[in-house]
Amino acid sequence: MEPQLSWYLALSAVLFTIGVTGVIVKRNIISMFMCIELMLNAVNLTFVAFASFFQDVTGQLFVFIVMTVAAAEAAVGLGIIIAIFRNRESLDVDEASILKL
């Protein structure tokens, strides 16, 4: 018995849901950031599973591009986090409910 495509999709859905839950539950902005990374990884798993089961390289290319976007997002997001911390002395998202610094 081989792993089916639906198994990978179910695992990906579970990971994505955990990520969404984390974004909703967490108040620390860095923890929320890491939950977003988890959601991106869940989508990547879907891409790789489809690429592998359909014998098509396109899915893996999109995973590559998603990873690059995630790296760019990490750089800019952490810059924003540092700017918020410098202005508010806190990483609580409720403290940063006004976008004005």
Partner 1 sequence: MLVLLFILFGALAVGCALAMVAQRNPLYSAISLIGVFISLACLYVTLAAPFIAAVQVIVYAGAIMVLVVFVIMLLNVEQEERRRTRLKFLVPTAIALAAVLIAEVAFILVSVQEFRVSPSGATSDIGLTQSIGPALFTKYLLPFEITSILLLMAIVGAMTLARRGGLLPAGARVIPGAQQFPLSFVDPKAQPDDLTLVEADSTEEAGRLLGVEKQSTDYADK
Site for partner 1 in 66-85 (CB under 8 A): 67-76, 78-83, 85
| Residue 43 sits in the site that holds partner 1 (CB under 8 A) | no
Residue 60, exposed/middle/buried by CB under 10 A (0-12, 13-18, 19+)?
middle
Answer yes or no: are the C-beta atoms of 53 and 43 closer than 8 Å: no
Report residue 6 as tokens.
């639906």
- The answer to the question of residue 34 lying near partner 1 (CB under 8 A) is yes
- Binds partner 1 (CB under 8 A): choice among 15, 43, 96, 100: 15
SS3 92: strand
What span, in angstroms and rounded, lies between the C-alpha atoms of 39 and 92? 21
Q: Tell me which residues touch partner 1 (CB under 8 A).
A: 1-8, 10-11, 13-15, 18-19, 21-22, 25-28, 30-31, 33-35, 37-38, 41, 44-45, 48-49, 51-58, 60-61, 63-65, 67-76, 78-83, 85-86, 91
